[in-house]
Structure 1
Amino acid sequence: MAKIGFIGTGNMGRAMVKGLAQSGLYQQQDLYIYDRNLAVAKELAQDLGIQSTETPQALVKACDRIIFAVKPNVLPAVLRALVPEVTADKVVISVAAGISLEKLASILGADHKIVRVMPNTPALVGMGMSAVTQNDQVTQAELAEVLAIFASFGKAEAVSESLIDAVVGVSGSAPAYVYLFIEALADGAVMEGMPRAQAYEFAAQTVMGSAQMVLETGQHPGELKDMVCSPGGTTIAAVKTLEEAGFRAAVIQAVQVAAEKNREMAEKNAASKK
């Protein structure tokens, strides 16, 4: 059985570790974590019944699959410090935005097995959406294993690296757009006299239920929208107002802006020598 290690236990790292530990995919003794805040890592390891290490080098030596859940601006330096321990038989998994497979290979070596993953924050509640892309050194069996790891706290799909910018716009950054929408829905209800806490519950449950209908029915979102819009009714009047305010165009532009920002980050990181 492969041993899985996580370097970094911030919000995303903690979510991934908890999801995997609770999934039953791996034995607790096969899961390792390291964080520069050793006390935090030890406490999390004790809570989950898994292993923590005193150094990142010790984790890399012990593990076959290493997930780097650190900020993009520090990942290159972290990888360079670990090059002697990261042998070509290990699978390196990065969740850092804006750092390409090519850039990662330039640090580790072209013969290394490298995977990029773009998860999102709903992984914290086991409802994440992760995009997975790999270099040519990664086998189909290894890719399937990585997909299973990330599916343990949501859903995961393999995509071409050329789609990663789109993924950032449509799922990586998108929870923030959805939270804005939920907040706006609740604000509208509060204006109509509903208590704030109740307004958030109604708004959030409605968004979650609507999303589940898209996933479970397989129907086009436009069809589902039409099912709610009775002729001359309240919903079509509200939809008209949203269209007049440029709702869909604003969302499309937000996705494109996030994707473009990710491209800019990737170009900057590719040019960086740090």
Structure 2
Amino acid sequence: MTVAVIGAGKIGELVLSGLLRAGWSASELLVTARRAERGRELTERYGVRAVDNLTAVTEADVLAVAVKPQDATALLDEIGAKVPATKLIVSLCAGLPTSFFAARLPEGAPVIRVMTNTPALVDQAMTAISAGPHATGEHLAVAEEMFKPLGATVRVPESQQDAVTALSGSGPAYFYLLVEAMIDAGILLGLPRQVAHQLIVQTAIGSAVMLRDSGEHPVKLREAVTSPAGTTISAVRELENHGVRAALLSALEAARDRAREIAEQAGPGTARQGT
């Protein structure tokens, strides 16, 4: 099976490099890029062949579309009519529903919608996969085969993809912001930056592993750290006083709403997939 990554920006390169680390041969992968120099750069870095979009459509079994959402219309105007109805389309375009592609592809073309995230760089991505109307279980299995090497995968109804985008697609940024703030707090408390960084990063890793492997609810794990009249409960009180929980809820709602706006701005065929 040959996969063409169409639009190898940041996310496209994540997928490309992950597939190579997972054992895919460079001969099984194609890449397209808007700028010729970008294509040459990817060829030199990964040994894959850079081609134009129409060649990718002709030669690849799977088209992994990783262009920016605002560029998807122009791409499909170029290639849509030339894509065989049997060819699998895997969309990594944030906010764009499978109906957007269906409106611009031959009738019956199978489309899978995917939202992954940047920890794919270290094979720790969280990837959510949804089937469009003409995609089968076999198509979903192909998408899972592509993204499992990058981390964990989960199948969700497409109606949940905007929430996935807000929660895990954008999620790494929230954690980086929290770590950044905690490092600054450590410096304020008198620690050298390097020590504060090491303390917080390892604490974050350890906490994440406990959440994943213990099976315990996060409330129970938090309570295990929180002694009566201790330091932790004093800190938690301040977090609650400053509305951290409410701020997170509002932030994720804003990200979800922005994903919906992207779809609405993209044009015809972007009717909301549920609520």
Q: Which residue of 2 aligns with 1:136?
A: 133
Q: Which residue of 2 aligns with 1:61?
A: 58
Whether the aligned pair in 1 keeps the contact of 2:4 and 2:62 (CA below 8 Å) is yes
> How much does 1:268 deviate?
2.6
2:165 maps to 1:202: no
Which ranges in structure 2 are unaligned for 5 or more consecutive residues?
Answer: 271-275
Distance change in 2, residues 1:51/1:161 (3 Å): same
- Counterpart code for 2:16: V
Q: Distance in 2 between matches of 1:226 and 1:245?
A: 20
Other structure's SS at 1:132 match? strand
Which stretch has the larger CA shift, 196-205 or 220-229? 196-205
Distance change in 2, residues 1:150/1:94 (3 Å): same
Percent of aligned positions that are identical: 36
Q: Which residue of 2 aligns with 1:52?
A: 50
2:119 maps to 1:122: yes
- Counterpart code for 1:30: E
Q: Distance in 2 between matches of 1:28 and 1:5?
A: 11
Q: Distance in 2 between matches of 1:218 and 1:132?
A: 23
Whether the aligned pair in 2 keeps the contact of 1:99 and 1:270 (CA below 8 Å) is no
2:32 maps to 1:34: yes
> 187, 190, 196: which is aligned to 1:190?
187
Which ranges in structure 1 are unaligned for 5 or more consecutive residues?
Answer: none
Q: Which residue of 2 aligns with 1:101?
A: 98
> 169, 174, 178: which is aligned to 2:171?
174
> How much does 1:52 deviate?
2.2
> How much does 1:254 deviate?
0.8
Q: Distance in 1 between matches of 2:47 and 2:25?
A: 10
Q: Which residue of 1 aligns with 2:85?
A: 88
Structure-to-structure mapping, 1:141-156, within 5 angstroms: 141-156=138-153
Which stretch has the larger CA shift, 191-200 or 60-69? 191-200
- Counterpart code for 1:22: R
Q: Which residue of 2 aligns with 1:6?
A: 5
Other structure's SS at 1:152 match? helix
Scaled by the length of structure 1, the TM-score of the pair is 0.93
2:238 maps to 1:248: no
Q: Distance in 2 between matches of 1:172 and 1:149?
A: 17
User: Cα RMSD over matched residues?
Assistant: 1.7
Other structure's SS at 2:82 match? coil
Q: Distance in 2 between matches of 1:31 and 1:64?
A: 10
Which stretch has the larger CA shift, 33-42 or 184-193? 33-42
- Counterpart code for 1:9: A
> How much does 1:270 deviate?
3.9
Which stretch has the larger CA shift, 227-236 or 63-72? 227-236
Q: Which residue of 2 aligns with 1:17?
A: 16
